Amino acid sequence: MNVALIASLRAQCNGPRDGALLRFSLGNALLEQGDHVAAVEELRRAVSFDPHYSAAWKLLGKACLAHGDTSSAANAWRQGIDIARERGDKQAEKEMTVFLRRIEKADS
C-alpha cells in the first residue's frame, strides 16, 4: 500500500496541490518505507514551502537521524524547537527537545 501512496503523492508534486502538507506526507511515507534519503529531501522541501511547519521540522530530524546524520537531525530539531516555541506548539517543542537531548547525550 505504501508504494501506491508514494506514487499517488509524487504524481501531485509540482502541481496545483504542491505544498508543505503534500511534501510532509510524501516524506513521512518514504520514511516509513525506509527510504531515508528521499524522505529527508521531501521534508526539506516541506519546510521550504512553510518554514513555520513544526511537525515537518520534527519529522525532518527523525529522517536525518534514521539516515545516520545526527548533526542535521540536531539542527532540524533546534530550528523546529524555535518555530514550535514561536507558534505556541508546546507538544512539538517538548518532543523535539527530548529528541535533541538524547542525541546530545549520546554524543557526549
Predicted TM-score of the model (pTM): 0.94
Q: How do residues 7-23 score in pLDDT, each as one tens digit? A: 999 999 999 999 999 99
CATH number at residue 27: 1.25.40.10
How many structural domains is the chain composed of?
Answer: 1
Q: In terms of residue numbers, what domain contains 61?
A: 2-107
Residue with cell 512553510: 50
Q: How do residues 31-83 score in pLDDT, each as one tens digit? A: 999 999 999 999 999 999 999 999 999 999 999 999 999 999 999 999 999 99
Indicate the pLDDT class of residue 2, thresholds 50, 70 and 90: confident
Provide long-range contacts, Cβ within 8 A and 24+ apart, for 18-21: 18/49, 19/49, 19/50, 20/46, 20/47, 20/49, 20/50, 20/53, 20/56, 21/46
